[in-house]
Amino acid sequence: MYLFANATIYVGLALAIYSLLIITLGISTKNQKLINSGKGGVIAILVCASMAMLSLFYLLATSQFQYEYVTDYTSSELPIIYKLTALWAGNSGSLLLWTFFLVLYTVMIAFSRKMRGNPMVPYISAILLGNIVFFFLILGFVAKPFILLDQVPIEGHGLNPMLQNPGMIIHPVTLYLGYVGLAIPFAFAMAALLLKNVDDFWIKMTRRWTIIAWLFLSLGNIFGGQWAYVELGWGGYWAWDPVENASFMPWLTATAFLHSVMIQERKNMLKIWNISLIITSYALTLFGTFLVRSGVLTSVHAFANSNLGLYFLIFMGVAVIGALYVLMSRYSLLKRSAGEFNSYISKESSFLINNLLLVGAAFGVFWGTVFPLVSEAVRGTKVTVGMPFFNTVQAPILLSMMFVMAVCPLLAWQRSSLKNLKKNFLIPAILAVVAMALMVVLGIQKAWAVIGFGVIVLLFITHFLEFYRGVKARRKMTKEKVYLSLYRLMTKNRRRYGGYMVHIGIAFIAMGIIGSQNYDVQTMKTVNLGDSIEVKDYRINYERLDQKREGINDIVYAEMTVFKNGKRIGNIMPEKVFYGNWDQPSSEVGLISSLKEDLYVVLSDWEDDGKATFIVKVNPMIAWLWIGSFMIVIGSLFAVWNGKYQNITPRYTGVRKEVS
């Protein structure tokens, strides 16, 4: 098994090098046979990567403690699902997963039906193979997943209890799919530049792959937030940790690209900017990996004792310099077709503002993340840059972003006249101001909250009007029923209405953030058995404290009955779990969730006589975070779905096919 498992890595590396060389040779000699051989090599690499994954899954599932990785991240009593998910608990395993996804994506591109006969394929394959070679080199010589120990331990060290949660099964997988996914638009961009052809086909394909990567990045962040909320016991969902920031930055720049590419599509402008955004997004994924693996910054996510970061930094440097060189060498070609704007106020202008704010937000996150290093380098003083900094800097930028998002749908392409603006915005603006006044009357008096909710109301109205006007115009012509008309309107323009659904999802998330950040109530109370804790409208009766054993873990739990305004609404059972093979206990929170608010109870401490201390929080509007997240997923899938009307991919109009 040892030989087989290691062979999958080294044979994979050899095949990757072979495929890269043979495809490059095929491109330079215009020899289709060599290209086909390289493409066959890609399939063989996928077989190797799959075998390596299956080998590690097998070793983990069967607790083969003679392997260092299995000992480090599992123990025999661990449930099978967590034994398997331990594959991405450590450095080498997670890099193997990354490699597998990268190879999978490469095969999908090389043998895609839409890409058949396309001369971009060999270039894209070669660029992705360059990445694959790097990852196999790391797996083969730096972070080896299949190392045998000199002595076989009886038991493994176990999996970090924080990772023993359903959210952690899927969070890293989706995040890696997002990270790896951004390598595809990068490869498309480089291939297009090398072939001197950034046409409609490029836009369509790059945008599609960027949406897919964006969706997975969104999912990764959402699952991470949800996990933090239920597992870490602090009642929050986003801590601006360097690693969270590392996944948020490419998300922001990819979002900017998805908007600015529309200007390129309509006006043949911003080509250099769009390609720069693609390069930046890809580089930021490598930068994120550098942060996680290098240990230069303190993070709860960091992989300890690793010098891997340096290799990623070097690879990122090579990739960025190479990409910039290609971009500069094609500068005159990209510059040639620059167009112009018709008016200061138009959808095009609003997209530029949108890009400014998104990239500005990404810069703010980047700056905050690296500032501890800057401060230490400049004046030798370490500083910590945490939540207060990011909340203060990001709040105005992201609120402005929401405003642009609210206004943009009603702005016309090309030119918006003052009359047009007045016609479109007067009623939504009046309604938003009335809503803000109503909020103040109802007791919402914090300025940020009122402004934030006001902008969200404006966003809902403008988006509703977009749907309303579209349906109305359609019905005028077709006399269809409302729902049928809405359905056909949306399915005939999936990208546009999918985008609006994502906007509405973001607005729901913003509602959750503003509500939970500004109006949370919390207390910490020590009570005797039979006593109650009262918070807001809630009365929580503390009825029982007991202990149970699950496997090698001891669990202390409290049974509590919750009443709201005197009416019983349910039971909760907050727990503290003590692990047999881990020093730190973890909290399982007691949670009662509604659309209005979450009641969140953590068992903090207790004494022999049953007296216990609880942290009780009432977090308003948290459910809207998850509803909004769901909307984002639905909207993104709706936008990329190949419906009846979406099968047309523009014909490739680039250079004559020589090899494909």
* Smallest separation (angstroms) from other proteins to the CB of 107: 38
Exactly one of 371, 464, 467, 519 binds other proteins (CB under 8 A); that residue is: 371
Distance (Å, rounded) from C-alpha 530 to C-alpha 464? 51
Q: Which is nearer to other proteins, 198 or 601 (CB)?
A: 601
Among 386, 530, 551, 570, binds other proteins (CB under 8 A): 386
| Using rule CB under 8 A, residue 314 touches other proteins | no
Site string for other proteins, 397-436 (x = CB under 8 A): x---------------------------------------
Shorter beta-carbon distance to other proteins: residue 72 or 348: 348
Distances 439 to 67, 148, 406, 521, 537 between C-alpha atoms, Å: 61, 64, 19, 19, 20
Which residues, in sequence order, are CB contacts of 551 under 8 Å at separation 6+? 77, 580
Tell me how far apart the alpha carbons of residues 513 and 520 are, in angstroms, rounded to a whole number.
11
Residues in contact with other proteins, total (CB under 8 A)? Answer: 57
For residue 353, state whether it binds other proteins (rule: CB under 8 A).
yes
DSSP structural state of residue 646: -
Say if CB 618 and CB 520 are below 8 A apart: yes
Task: Select from 62-70, 172-180, 195-203, 351-359 the region that touches other proteins (CB under 8 A).
Answer: 351-359
Nearest to 624 by CA among 592, 593, 591, 595: 595
* Residue 518 interacts with other proteins (CB under 8 A): yes or no: no
Do the Cβ atoms of 158 and 78 come closer than 8 Å? yes
Using CB under 8 A, which of 117, 388, 443, 566 touches other proteins? 388
**Is residue 584 near other proteins by the rule CB under 8 A?**
yes
Note whether 239 binds other proteins by CB under 8 A: yes
Q: Which helix (H) or strand (E) holds 118?
A: none
Task: Pick the piece of the chain touching other proteins (CB under 8 A) from 176-184, 328-336, 517-525, 638-646.
Answer: 517-525
* CB of residue 45 to other proteins, shortest distance in Å: 38
> What's the CA gap between 220 and 318, in Å, rounded?
27
Using the rule CB under 8 A, give the single segment among 22-30, 211-219, 252-260, 522-530 that binds other proteins: 522-530
Q: Which of 409, 617, 639, 652 binds other proteins (CB under 8 A)?
A: 617
| Residue range at the interface with other proteins (CB under 8 A); choices 118-126, 188-196, 294-302, 402-410 | 294-302
Binding of residue 339 to other proteins (CB under 8 A): yes
Asked if 349 touches other proteins (CB under 8 A), the answer is yes
Among residues 389, 357, 365, which one has the least CA distance to residue 249?
A: 365
DSSP 18-83: HHHHHHHHHHHHT-HHHHHHHHHHHHHHHHHHHHHHHHHHHHHHTT-TTBHHHHHH--TTS-HHHH
Does 79 contact other proteins by CB under 8 A? no
Given the rule CB under 8 A, which of 210-218, 329-337, 520-528, 651-659 is the region that contacts other proteins?
Answer: 520-528
Q: Which stretch binds other proteins (CB under 8 A): 107-115, 251-259, 348-356, 456-464?
A: 348-356
Q: Shortest Cβ distance from residue 331 to other proteins (Å)? A: 17
Query: CA–CA separation, 478 vs 500, rounded Å?
Result: 23
Cβ of residue 424: shortest distance to other proteins, in angstroms? 20
Q: Is there binding between residue 252 and other proteins (CB under 8 A)? A: no
CB atoms within 10 A of CB 654: 18
Among 389, 464, 467, 519, binds other proteins (CB under 8 A): 389
Q: Concatenate the DSSP letters of all residues of 294-327 into one string.
A: H-SS--TTPPSS--HHHHHHHHHHHHHHHHHHHH
How many angstroms separate the CA atoms of 540 and 612, rounded? 13
Interface with other proteins (CB under 8 A), residue from 81, 333, 387, 434 = 387
Nearest approach, Cβ of residue 525 and other proteins (Å): 7
CB 440, CB 465: distance < 8 Å = no
Exposed, middle or buried by CB within 10 Å (0-12, 13-18, 19+), for 496? middle
**Contact code string over 538-577 relative to other proteins, x by CB under 8 A:** --------------------------------------x-
- What are φ and ψ of residue 75, in 5° steps? -145, 160
Q: Exposure pattern of 327-366 as b/e (b: 16+ CB <10 Å)?
A: beebeeebeeeeeeeeeebbbbbbbbebbebbbbbbebbb
Q: Are 601 and 616 in contact (CB under 8 A)?
A: yes
Read off the tokens for 306.
């690793």
Report in angstroms how near the CB of residue 269 gets to other proteins at its nearest: 8
Positions touching other proteins (CB under 8 A) are 233-234, 236, 239, 241, 298-300, 339-344, 349, 352-353, 356-357, 359-360, 363-364, 367-368, 371, 375, 378-379, 381-389, 392-393, 397, 522-526, 576, 584-587, 602, 604-605, 615-617
